[in-house]
Amino acid sequence: MRLLVTGGAGYIGSVVAARLLEEGHHVTVLDDLSEGHRDAVPAGARFVQGRIHDAARVIDGAGFEAVVHLAAFSLVGESVEHPARYEENNVLGTARLCNAMQTLGVNKIIVSSTAAVYGEPDVAIITEETKTAPVNPYGSSKLAIDNDLSRRTHAGEFAAISLRYFNVAGAYGPYGERHRQETHLIPIALEVALGKRASLTIFGDDFPTPDGTCVRDYIHVLDIANAHVRAMAALEVGYHDIVNLGNGSGFSVQEVAEAVRNVTGHPLPTEIGPRRAGDPAVLVASNERARTHLGWIPEYPDVTTMVEDAWRFAQERGA
């Protein structure tokens, strides 16, 4: 298929674009490079630098059959400080992208959503039926997008699948995580192993979990990308599917730190800091729907594999 991949110069987008190319699709990447990197766009993809707000000029006449939409601002802390940016970029940008698609006759979209739409749920395993109650503007912006997609699909000639990612980790070949502002646990721990930071601060050890640190459902970026490949075949006009992407099991911050020690051989000193605002104790996905609706099975559920791949990537980049 001829596909437009927005955000294809970013961490997850570059892996998604690479996998779609490997599957024989024709890929055009649209990315404004606000967070992505030009050299992360896979060879074989056409690249257009620009915002999703201006997607009409890219879509017009290009013959796209579907859009894979990953471009978004995704920093929880930043979203609390600058909510308007998340409204403008994520919500309005996506609405304009969808308007352009519908005006120009492209009626299929796969969209990156997030576990952040569930907020701080009081269930052990999060299904797609779990109540949505985002606790920050980032999560709210993604929920607004999902709701808009439901309305558009139910109104008629539009097909959408929202993929709700849990904690994405690891790397795939030359594509990995290199944010300008790093906030995620595994890349920060690897920066300690590379000597770029003295220690890892653990944000709280008094949560109601077995070792007191937060539990998250880490999911390999290649498994995430493979779910997009599967989703491409599951799009149905008139229907909006929402699918969690996780392994269905969690690892604590302490367990991740131990995996980083085992993989890197670095002692990885840690210190206990205060809790980070808005961090739920446990976030673990049910992936039942992903299995049944997409025929997707995570192939790399071991957090050690994710750390190994991220470590190889970090060393190769000399990051």
Taking contact as CB under 6 A, which single stretch among the options 10-18, 88-96, 181-189, 300-308 is the one that binds ligand UFG? 181-189
Greatest Cα-to-Cα distance within the chain, rounded to the nearest angstrom: 57
Selected catalytic residue, list 11, 86, 118, 138: 138
- Output the smallest distance, CB 308 to ligand UFG, in A: 17
The neighbouring-strand residues paired with 165 are: 114, 245
Identify each DSSP E strand in 37-118 by its residue range.
46-49, 66-69, 108-114
Asked if 239 is an active-site residue, the reply is no
Kindly state the tokens that stand for 199.
Answer: 């220690």
CA distance 149 to 160: 7
Taking contact as CB under 6 A, which single stretch among the options 54-62, 99-107, 110-118, 143-151 is the one that binds ligand UFG? 110-118
Interface with ligand UFG, residue 257, by CB under 6 A = no
Interface with ligand UFG, residue 220, by CB under 6 A = no
Out of 85, 184, 266, 312, the residue judged to bind ligand UFG by CB under 6 A? 184
One-letter identity of residue 216: R
- Output the smallest distance, CB 261 to ligand UFG, in A: 15
Interface with ligand UFG, residue 222, by CB under 6 A = no
If the CB atoms of residues 115 and 232 are measured against ligand UFG, the closer one turns out to be 115
If the CB atoms of residues 106 and 303 are measured against ligand UFG, the closer one turns out to be 303
If the CB atoms of residues 142 and 230 are measured against ligand UFG, the closer one turns out to be 142
> Pattern of binders to ligand UFG over 55-74, x per CB under 6 A?
-------------------x
What does each C-alpha distance from 280 to 76, 243, 287 come to in angstroms? 13, 21, 19
277 touches 210 (CB < 8 A): no
CA distance 69 to 248: 25
Phi then psi dihedrals of residue 50, to 5 deg: 175, 175
Kindly state the tokens that stand for 173.
Answer: 């070949």
Task: Using CB under 6 A, count the residues that bind ligand UFG.
Answer: 21
Out of 28, 90, 132, 167, the residue judged to bind ligand UFG by CB under 6 A? 167
CA distance 132 to 147: 11
Identify each DSSP E strand in the chain by its residue range.
2-6, 26-31, 46-49, 66-69, 108-114, 159-165, 167-169, 200-203, 215-216, 218-220, 240-245, 251-252, 270-273, 282-283
Interface with ligand UFG, residue 249, by CB under 6 A = no
Taking contact as CB under 6 A, which single stretch among the options 25-33, 51-59, 180-188, 284-292 is the one that binds ligand UFG? 180-188
Out of 147, 201, 209, 305, the residue judged to bind ligand UFG by CB under 6 A? 201
Residues in the chain, total: 319
If the CB atoms of residues 26 and 184 are measured against ligand UFG, the closer one turns out to be 184
Out of 20, 91, 125, 185, the residue judged to bind ligand UFG by CB under 6 A? 185
End-to-end CA distance of the chain: give it in Å, rounded: 35
Out of 55, 68, 115, 221, the residue judged to bind ligand UFG by CB under 6 A? 115
- Contacts with ligand UFG by CB under 6 A lie at 74, 76, 114-116, 138, 167, 183-185, 188, 200-203, 214, 216, 253, 276, 279, 283
Give me the active site residues, please: 138
